[in-house]
Amino acid sequence: QTSYISVPPDFSGFNDPAKGHETALGMYQNGADIVYAAAGGTGGGVHQAAFEQKKWSIGVDADEATYASNAKYKTAILTSMLKRVDVGCASFVSDVLANKFMAGNHVFGLSNGGVGYALTGGNIDDIKSKIDAYGAKIKSGAIVVPEKPEGA
The predicted pLDDT at position 51 comes to 97
pLDDT number for residue 89? 96
Average pLDDT over residues 59-82: 93
What residues pair up with 61 in beta bridges, in sequence order? 82
pTM for the structure as a whole: 0.87
Report angle CA 31, 33, 39 to the nearest 5 degrees. 105
Check whether 46 has a pLDDT greater than 70. yes
CA angle 107, 90, 108 (to 5 degrees): 15
Residue type, 13: G
Task: For residue 87, report the phi and psi dihedrals to the nearest 5 degrees.
Answer: -70, -45
* Mean pLDDT computed over every residue of the chain: 94
DSSP at 131: H
